Amino acid sequence: VQTCALPILDALEAIRVEALGRKGKLAEVSKTFGKLTPEERASLGKLLNAVKQELESNLDARKAALESVALNARLASEWFDLTTPAPGIRPGHLHPVTQVQREIEDLFVSLGFAIMDGPEVEQEYYNFDALNIPPDHPARDMQDTFWLKDGRLLRTHTSPVQIRALEKLGAPLKMIAPGRVFRNEEVDPSHEHTFYQLEGMMVDRDVSVAHLIYFMKTLLSAIFHREVTVRLRPGFFPFVEPGFELDIQCLICGGKGCPVCKQSGWVEILGSGMVHPAVIESAGLDSTRYTGWAFGLGPARTALARHGIPDIRILYDSDVRFLEQFAR
Ligand code: DAH
């Protein structure tokens, strides 16, 4: 049992020693016994014993009371409930980029699209040639990548899945293809060498730009849960004609200019366009019969725009505590 080191208990002990100790007040009185008659000695002895007993029992009672107050205080402050369930393992959550990807998947599945996959180590044919990017085309320089010794490469975009999906499923086709892509790229606030894309494609009879615009509007309002200002620019991609760059007004600076939008006020969210007839033909389909639209989007940039994160790099190399704020 731990004794209570309360100052008041020390004070009480000092009082006990002073009154009842061997050199205490009562002992002093006892020293006068020798000068007394036997009768006086007997009655004084009795009296002293009574006083001594009374003092002792009072001091003991006081000490017990103080100790129980101290013990109760400890019990109150150190109490805990042994029967409370343990907090358990902290649950994880999806990465903000994965959240965007899953939401887009849910949306397109609800619209009747298939979710397709393609290899990250891709053949040159699917990554470039079949997408109307011949060997000497400058678009190959813009998508410099990592090559394997056997001639394959790390895919630079998810667009090769367009060809694979058309070859496998034919037309009509509605599909999206999320996945990881790679480029030999200088890393900066909006570029990573390894990143994600999400491809979408619809091929059928009589598909027009009107369908493309409808699906892009549906997509963007689902992602941002609000009105976003968008801008369509003509954009060149060899596998679409016409091609468009779809930008949203920067949600971080509201269009004033910041590092994410490279001071332009606009963030490229996706590339899109009407599938080039050469691509339809590459997949073995009749381009006079089928038309289509396609888009390619960056889920990480979308996540940055949605959460107001100013630098793409912190999505991938930051402490997990940074990511925890995006738990859902
Ligand atoms: N593959 C293009 C890129 O990585 C993005 C893209 C643009 C995809 C236009 C498309 C599209 O499907 O129609 O830069």
pLDDT tens across 231-269, in order?
A: 889 999 999 999 999 998 888 788 999 877 889 999 888
CB hemisphere CA count around 96 (13 angstroms)? 24
Q: Rounded mean pLDDT of 23-44? A: 87
Residue 146 in this model has a pLDDT that exceeds 80: yes
Residue whose CB lies within 8 A of the most ligand 1 atoms, among 108, 194, 201, 237, for a mutation test: 237
Banded model confidence at residue 1, pLDDT cuts 50, 70, 90: very low
Q: Rounded mean pLDDT of 273-282? A: 98
The number of the ligand 1 atom at minimal distance from the alpha carbon of 293 is 13
Average pLDDT of the residues of the chain = 91
Ligand 1 site: residues with CB under 6 angstroms? Answer: 157, 159, 199, 237, 240, 243, 271-273, 294-296
Q: Which is more confident, 20 or 206? A: 206
Q: Which pLDDT score is estimated for 250? A: 85
State in Å: Cα 323 to ligand 1 middle: 28
Residue 74 in this model has a pLDDT that exceeds 70: yes
Distance in angstroms (rounded) separating the CA atoms of residues 109 and 111 = 5
Q: Which pLDDT score is estimated for 143? A: 85
Q: Which pLDDT score is estimated for 219? A: 94
The number of the ligand 1 atom at minimal distance from the alpha carbon of 275 is 13
Q: Rounded mean pLDDT of 177-183? A: 96
Alpha-helix residue ranges (DSSP H) falling in 203-313:
209-224, 277-282, 299-307
Residue 22 in this model has a pLDDT that exceeds 60: yes
Instruction: Identify the weakest region by mean pLDDT among 231-240, 299-308, 309-318.
Output: 309-318
Residue 326 in this model has a pLDDT that exceeds 60: yes
Q: Which pLDDT score is estimated for 203? A: 98
Q: State how far the alpha carbon of 247 is from the alpha carbons of 197, 229, 234, 235, 316, in Å.
A: 16, 8, 11, 11, 23
**Angle ∠(275,280,282) on CA atoms, nearest 5:** 125
Q: What radius of gyration do the chain's Cα atoms show?
A: 42
State in Å: Cα 78 to ligand 1 middle: 63
Q: How far apart are the first and last CA of the chain?
A: 49
Banded model confidence at residue 59, pLDDT cuts 50, 70, 90: very high
**Angle ∠(320,322,323) on CA atoms, nearest 5:** 65
CA nearest ligand 1 atom 2, residue: 296
Q: Rounded mean pLDDT of 127-138? A: 94
Q: Rounded mean pLDDT of 201-228? A: 91
Residues 6+ apart with CB under 8 A from 101: 178, 196, 198, 299
Q: Rounded mean pLDDT of 41-60? A: 91
CB 286 within 8 A of CB 301: no
Q: Rounded mean pLDDT of 53-58? A: 93
Q: Which pLDDT score is estimated for 89? A: 87
Residue 189 in this model has a pLDDT that exceeds 80: no
Q: pLDDT above 90 covers what percent of the chain?
A: 57
CA nearest ligand 1 atom 12, residue: 295
Banded model confidence at residue 279, pLDDT cuts 50, 70, 90: very high
Q: Rounded mean pLDDT of 17-44? A: 87
